[in-house]
Amino acid sequence: METKGIYTVHEFTLAVKSILTTGILNDTWIRGEISNFTNHNSGHRYFTLKDKNSQLQCVMFKWYGKNLRFEPEHGMKVLVFGDLDVYEQKGVYQLKVRDIRPDGIGELYKAYEQLKNKLAMEGLFSPDYKKPLMRFPKKIGVATSPTGAVLHDMLTVLGRRYPVNILFIPTVVQGDSAAESIVKSILALNETDVDIIILGRGGGGIEDLWAFNEEVVARAIFNSRIPIISAVGHETDYTIADFVADIRAPTPSVAAEIAVPDRLELANHITRLWQRLIENQRRFISDRKSHLSDLEEDVEPCLFVERLTRHIQFIDDLTLRQELSIGRLIDIKKALLDANAGKLNAVSPLGTLSRGYGITLKLPGKTLVQSIEDVERSDEVSIIVRDGKIRCNVNDKEECKWK
Amino acid sequence: MEMSFEESLTELEGIVDKLEKGQLSLDESLMLFERGIKLVRECNTKLKSAQQKVEQLIVENGGCRTEKFEVD
């Protein structure tokens, strides 16, 4: 069995947190009743959301709370929007609340959830279908209301960041004809040469944004050939259009920022590229210069002579050492030879001759005569003595016992 | 045909990368350097001369036309 080792409490809590906060339970609407509501001095709000069977700890940090259009209170039936989180110190899971709405329009949310699930099942929200945005669009299509701050805000941001051509199509974004108008605008812009479409609308209640939750709009966005940035309502308003769009921008101004790069940043980027070019070229040239001067030094005449002299000296040195060692070798060999010559002399027959003895050889083979058996009468022999040879014929032989 | 800003910038980024990787002959390197400096100039000019032009798309009788849109 595989062992998992032993966790510390903190490690275990972190492991739990990593399982619970993968994002599956992010951006979730939950219906319930508020209890134990505390508006803390810090500006954060803490409460429990409960129904008949369960309770859920909730925290709403003050930066989200400032968009609240009402103050929640104990016993209020609400819809809460937020992400699942784990509060490590206490080891409890809780909802990080980003929006709270009164639960008077529950039916709209039901319809919203149903359509959202249906389209999700069909894969309309899949990242596989998200079209990438062009890095430097030349023309941007804007579909929004001709009145209101949205268009003005977007044009201001676009003009400041990166002036491009803008094709604006007046679009009804609220009321009964809104869905049809949005679909028409998307289709019309698809017939033009715009590189990106921004679909925008200011904030409002779920009823005001309803057109962006309709199926025809979702399908028009999905079928658009041109990538669409949705910028509907405030940061906490999630419409179906946001899920289908290629990119969701929390507000129309952010949509404009996403659509185009910033001219100043680009200018800085180009300046950095220019500096890298110059720096690189300078280094390239100076590397080659120093390499060249190294090579030059190598062929410089006086350095060359010096190196040559060094070589000559080295050779002289070698020669001397060689001569010395050979002389020593010869001395050793000579001493060895003298010693051996002395020994040889001691056993030499020449010694015998000098003491007055002769050596007899039988001719013509010059075999040594050591016995009377070695010669016959009238054989020719040669007797070697100290100062020469005597040639004789054998006249007679006689056996004697000398000892 | 004149290159777009995007094409110029992409080529410039490629040239800087190539020069920084090295292993080029002196001639190649000088040629790329010259081209890079030219692209820097072009990019800056294009960036400075960019203008915002706002048009309105009007759909009528099944056709489309555009007209200048006055921003208030």
Chain B residues touching chain A at CB-CB below 8 Å:
4-6, 9, 12-13, 15-16, 19-20, 22, 26, 29-30, 33, 36-37, 40, 43-44, 47, 50-57, 59, 64, 66, 69, 71-72
Residue-level pLDDT at A353: 80
B57·A188 Cβ contact <8 A: yes
- CA-nearest of A169, A172, A175 to A187 is A169
Residue A306, number of CB atoms within 10 A of its CB: 11
**Residue A109 confidence (pLDDT) above 80:** no
Q: What is the amino acid identity at position A301?
A: P
For chain A, the first-to-last Cα distance in angstroms comes to: 109
Task: Say if residue A284's pLDDT is above 80.
Answer: yes
| Residue A383 and residue A390 in contact, taking contact as beta carbons nearer than 8 Å | yes
Q: Which residues pair with B56 in a beta bridge?
A: A168, B67
pLDDT in tens, A305-321: 887 888 888 888 888 88
Give me the mean pLDDT over the A52-68 stretch: 87
Residues making up chain B, counted from first to last: 72
Cα A128 vs. chain centroid, distance in angstroms? 25
Identify whether A336 is part of a domain: no
- Kindly report which listed range (A177-186, A258-267, A349-358) carries the lowest average pLDDT score: A349-358
Q: A267 to chain B: which residues are within 8 Å by CB?
A: 44, 47
Identify the residue with better confidence: A173 or B25. A173
Does residue A169 have a pLDDT over 90?
yes
How many distinct structural domains can be found in chain A?
A: 4
CB–CB contact A155 B33 (8 Å): no
Residues of chain A with C-beta less than 8 angstroms from the C-beta of B68: none
pLDDT of residue A46: 94
- Mean of the per-residue pLDDT values of chain A: 87
Range in A248-262, A358-372, B56-70 with the lowest mean pLDDT? B56-70
Regarding predicted confidence, which is higher, A12 or B69?
A12
pLDDT of residue A159: 87
Average per-residue pLDDT for chain B: 83
Beta strand pairing call for A77-87 and A380-385: unpaired
Residue B50 CA to residue B29 CA, distance in Å, equals: 31
Confidence at residue A104, expressed as pLDDT on a 0 to 100 scale: 65
Do A217 and A276 belong together in one domain?
Answer: no
Q: What is the ipTM metric for this complex?
A: 0.80
- Same domain for A46 and A88, yes or no, is yes
Question: Are A256 and A142 contained in the same domain?
Answer: yes
Question: Does pLDDT of B17 surpass 50?
Answer: yes
Task: Point out the least confidently predicted range of A177-186, A191-200, A322-331, B55-64.
Answer: B55-64
Find out whether the peptide bond into A364 is cis, omega within 30 degrees of 0.
yes
- In percent, the amount of chain A with pLDDT more than 90 equals 37
B37-58: b or e for each residue (b if 16 or more CB lie within 10 Å)?
bebbebbbebbeebeeebbbbe
A370: pLDDT confidence band, cut at 50, 70 and 90?
A: confident
Give me the mean pLDDT over the A293-299 stretch: 80
Domain final position from A85, A104, A123? A104
Q: Which three-class secondary structure state does DSSP give residue A46?
A: strand
Least confident of A55-64, A108-117, A124-133: A108-117
Helix (H, G, I), strand (E, B) or coil at A19: helix
| In contact, A117 and A143? CB cutoff 8 Å | no
User: How do A359-362 and A367-368 pair as beta strands?
Assistant: antiparallel
pLDDT, position A1: 45
Residues A272 and A249 grouped into a single domain: no
Domain assignment present for A342: no
The residues with which A58 forms a beta bridge, in sequence order, are A47, A95
My answer on whether A226 and A182 are in the same domain is yes
């339970």: which residue's tokens? A25
Measured in angstroms, the CA of A188 and the nearest CA of chain B are apart by 7
Highest average pLDDT, of A56-60, A108-112, A294-298, comes from A56-60
Is A1 within a domain? no
Tokens 């099942």, located at residue: A121
- For residues A232 and A204, state if they share a domain: yes
> pLDDT-based confidence at A371, cuts 50/70/90?
confident
Model pLDDT, residue A304: 74
Residue pair A124/A221 in contact by the 8 Å Cβ criterion: no
Question: Is B72's pLDDT higher than 70?
Answer: no
The answer on pLDDT for A67 being more than 70 is no
* Averaged pLDDT, B55-71: 79
- When scoring B3, B11, B16 by the number of chain A Cβ atoms within 10 A, the one with the most, hence best to mutate, is B16
For position A212, which CATH number holds? 3.40.50.10550
User: Is A302's pLDDT higher than 90?
Assistant: no
HEC states along A117-158? HHHHHHCCCCHHHCCCCCCCCCEEEEEECCCCHHHHHHHHHH
Q: Give pLDDT, residue B2.
A: 76
Question: Domain locations in chain B?
Answer: 5-68
A246 and A159 share one domain: yes
Mean pLDDT computed over A42-48: 92
Domain that holds residue A281: 264-305
- pLDDT given for residue A76 in this prediction: 81
Nearest to A284 among B29, B50, B54 (CB): B29
User: Bridge partners of A167?
Assistant: A141, B55
Average pLDDT of the residues in A366-382: 87
Cβ–Cβ below 8 Å for A273 and B13: yes
What's the CA gap between A197 and A215, in Å, rounded? 19
Above 90 in pLDDT, residue A199?
yes
Q: Is A382 helix (H, G, I), strand (E, B) or coil?
A: strand
End position of a domain, from candidates A237, A261, A285: A261
Q: Do A214 and A234 have their domain in common?
A: yes
In this structure, the answer to whether residues A228 and A286 fall within a common structural domain is no
